[in-house]
Structure 1
């Protein structure tokens, strides 16, 4: 209480407070994240604790008070729960320093190698510049989609038992938990493309802030797709087993491996719901906007498909639809687990 913890044993009357606030007691010796979660819910003043037995006290008859609080949605309760859960999720994520260092190191290594040796575009001949520009944007598009979508697969499995306990006992509502997981994981996943992509753009002599915005929209759509897949299955192993087939087919529709008009029948229209295809369209049209005397290949990419703003709108709508579907599916799955 009041920020002071006992390093040996348990805090004073901790089990009484756990029962009082309908929070599961720790099985191990007071883990830091569990104590953080508990102490954020305790009354701040001793007078509030002593007033719990009085009839006029807001803490009177508190056996179901937390359930009543969480069953009734209020903005203040939502903001408070979001603050606590965001803090806890950030602290738990920052503890894994080796993982964060590995992602940062991998992003730096890959971006420097890619920018200096593979797509050193200013030093090439005209026909090589065209090929390398297309290849660079294609690589960034596919890597961004893969990084965000695969990165979202495992975030809902790491502490699912805690979610089931807390949500099943009405300790927290679902929406703050879901938002905290999505926001923190999206920020960590952003580390790779938003450290590596600007370096590649700088070393290659291409790209702009608008290109990074396109990467961000693509990353959001890919991340929400990964969360949706994770919400539909029971284990991360199953998700990682079925997702490559889906993502590979989606990445094929970026518009560079194939000519979509050559696809049989209605399959040609699948490119219009492919996130990498829209991001690739944004990057190519931004790069060659206002440029004259283009080759037929580039002219076809610039004139074809949809406009830049239409692609951005599609990516944004796709993100909203996918993340809403992911939240709905995950909530249904958690309800089944808590009922079972």
Structure 2
């Protein structure tokens, strides 16, 4: 079978045929499973931009359309690297996102035709595609090997045994020259780990684990020194010459990197200025009257200058030069590009008619729901144990618990007001603490979730449940320690039944408050805004909790029925006292009164305990449902 026949094969059918070949070590499958030719014809991408409000003119912000990409046409074949060059804001990343099938729903309108072996983007193409983002979204506390092993366990299909998946991850570590740092954590801004070049190679390794036929990379050399950048591009060159189609954006490559790219697409404000062989770029611009002012110049520097409207003729305005270059491209190059794109249509159509559709043989996911849940749970525990059980948090909880125990030391029914004050403090403290612990969960993981969901790595439900279940030990251990210390020091009801009822109420309260934090974080997806909103909401709940204000006006009394603290405070009182229980009252405590008649408890009452428990149960489930629905928009693309 020759190369043209291989390229023309149906994407999903060939992926199914070659699934078992992925069990080979990475160094043994230099050739792509399925060569894919990527074509794009007259691609236009338009977004709606909201203009800022004018304070001086008192005008409302209007929404207008802005065209990011303006009619891009071209073709990239297996074995070729296409490098997209252009100034910042020229549309490189937007175009890469469109080619990779990752245009988010509702964010813009994409027109034109993008095809993969003359077929539209599908789940089969998605499984054969690797996409390396610019920001290297990686978990900081995982080592290099752990990062790649977890990726292999999630992305490689069940036709490969777990042992073989791990071997394949280890083979990728060796192939990318990461043996020296394989047991080093990734690190982050405030956590020392691997170098920038090593991080980038780990990101590339995550994608080549699946032996992709298409590989997209957004600024893979950004922020790297020239030697490291050369090594990264050399890896891409080897991958491309194994029959893969590689498309990358790059800002300003050195001259030796420039000549490693097979094709160049030069963009200027979303317009194509040049598309063709990288080796012909300088000759083309010289032929249309644009030559560098000096003999020896980095080709990419020259191309970026003219894309910015800076030419050798200083009298020519930048906007005029840009318009001239676009017009020259349409006159001299566009027809040749269109002919190249159309030249293989007949061959593709013939092969597609005979290839059949094998998509029905594929599941939507490489692994089962349970496998995803288990792997994500294990990965989450490894990553988050450092934050949840940090010395600072443990020390904070133990300090507050002992402080409470000392301030309320051996209080009894002689100081009933003090005791109910302690119960309200417990409900307040364990409302804010889990709220702010959980409110950062999804905003911090947004980039990772977008990246992995866009790759089709796992179901949202398996990720969400792994977070909920995996966080349970971390959420419940600290409040349990707190209560064990404070409860007995403060001299609350010593009956074991009362203690365990109080503990049960506290743990449910913590889970409900944490659920509110998850919901707010998922809805807002901005840490500062979510924190502010959470503080305001919890403060309102606190004021309506039944301790500070006992006679709430009718028109605002509805807040207490939404308050987590209101129901928790009531249940804590019910867990400590009975309505007909005696306490010392009167002058010097010589009289005995009913607890149910105590002023601070009377308005709370000893009724509706079941309804309070039911309200907390509804909140426990409801807040998490809200969080899940809010997360459904993350990683959702128009192309599936």
Pairwise same-fold verdict (TM > 0.5):
yes
271-280 vs 192-201, greater mean Cα deviation: 192-201
The within-5 A match list for 1:29-108 is 31-41=144-154, 42=156, 43-44=160-161, 68-70=362-364, 77-96=368-387, 100-108=390-398
Which residue number corresponds to residue 257 of structure 1?
548
Secondary structure of 2:549's match? coil
Secondary structure of 2:442's match? coil
The within-5 A match list for 1:122-271 is 122=411, 126=414, 129-206=415-492, 208-259=499-550, 262-271=551-560
C-alpha distance in structure 2 between counterparts of 1:14 and 1:233, whole Å: 44
CA-based RMSD: 3.5
Which residue number corresponds to residue 303 of structure 1?
605
Shift in alpha-carbon separation, 1:95–1:265, aligned structure 2, 3 A: closer
Q: CA deviation at 1:251?
A: 1.1
Which residue, out of 609, 630, 633, partners 1:329?
Answer: 630
1:104-126 deviations in whole A, cap 9, x for unaligned? 111111111210x211134x682
* Contact 1:284/1:301 (<8 A) preserved: no
Which residue number corresponds to residue 5 of structure 1?
none
In structure 2, stretches of 5+ residues that fail to align are: 1-24, 34-125, 168-212, 215-357, 494-498, 583-593
Which residue number corresponds to residue 408 of structure 2?
119
Shift in alpha-carbon separation, 1:152–1:105, aligned structure 2, 3 A: same
Secondary structure of 2:505's match? helix
Which residue number corresponds to residue 281 of structure 1?
570
Q: CA deviation at 1:195?
A: 1.6
Q: CA deviation at 1:20?
A: 6.8
Q: CA deviation at 1:266?
A: 3.2
Q: CA deviation at 1:191?
A: 3.7
Shift in alpha-carbon separation, 1:319–1:111, aligned structure 2, 3 A: same
Q: CA deviation at 1:190?
A: 2.9
Secondary structure of 1:69's match? coil
C-alpha distance in structure 2 between counterparts of 1:225 and 1:333, whole Å: 19
C-alpha distance in structure 2 between counterparts of 1:24 and 1:31, whole Å: 18
Secondary structure of 2:629's match? helix
Richer in helix (by share)? 1
Choose between structure 1 and 2 for higher RCO, CA contacts under 8 A separated by at least 6 residues: 1
Q: CA deviation at 1:24?
A: 5.0
Which residue number corresponds to residue 57 of structure 1?
none
Shift in alpha-carbon separation, 1:235–1:303, aligned structure 2, 3 A: closer
Q: CA deviation at 1:14?
A: 8.9
C-alpha distance in structure 2 between counterparts of 1:13 and 1:240, whole Å: 50
The within-5 A match list for 1:15-30 is 24=131
1:131-171 deviations in whole A, cap 9, x for unaligned? 11111100000111111211111111223222112111211
* Paired positions, count: 304
Shift in alpha-carbon separation, 1:112–1:169, aligned structure 2, 3 A: same
Which residue number corresponds to residue 58 of structure 1?
none
C-alpha distance in structure 1 between counterparts of 2:436 and 2:146, whole Å: 26
Secondary structure of 1:157's match? helix
C-alpha distance in structure 1 between counterparts of 2:513 and 2:148, whole Å: 35
Which residue number corresponds to residue 52 of structure 1?
none
* Structure exhibiting the larger radius of gyration computed from Cα positions: 2
Secondary structure of 1:335's match? coil
Which residue, out of 595, 613, 617, partners 1:312?
Answer: 613
Q: CA deviation at 1:102?
A: 1.5
156-165 vs 142-151, greater mean Cα deviation: 156-165
1:168-208 deviations in whole A, cap 9, x for unaligned? 12110101111222333343233432221221011112151
Q: CA deviation at 1:11?
A: 6.3
C-alpha distance in structure 2 between counterparts of 1:96 and 1:322, whole Å: 23
C-alpha distance in structure 2 between counterparts of 1:118 and 1:14, whole Å: 68
In structure 1, stretches of 5+ residues that fail to align are: 1-9, 50-61
1:256-299 deviations in whole A, cap 9, x for unaligned? 1001xx33333213212211110100011221125142343155
Q: CA deviation at 1:25?
A: 6.0
- Give me the TM-score of the superposition, normalised by structure 1: 0.78
C-alpha distance in structure 1 between counterparts of 2:130 and 2:380, whole Å: 18
Richer in strand (by share)? 2
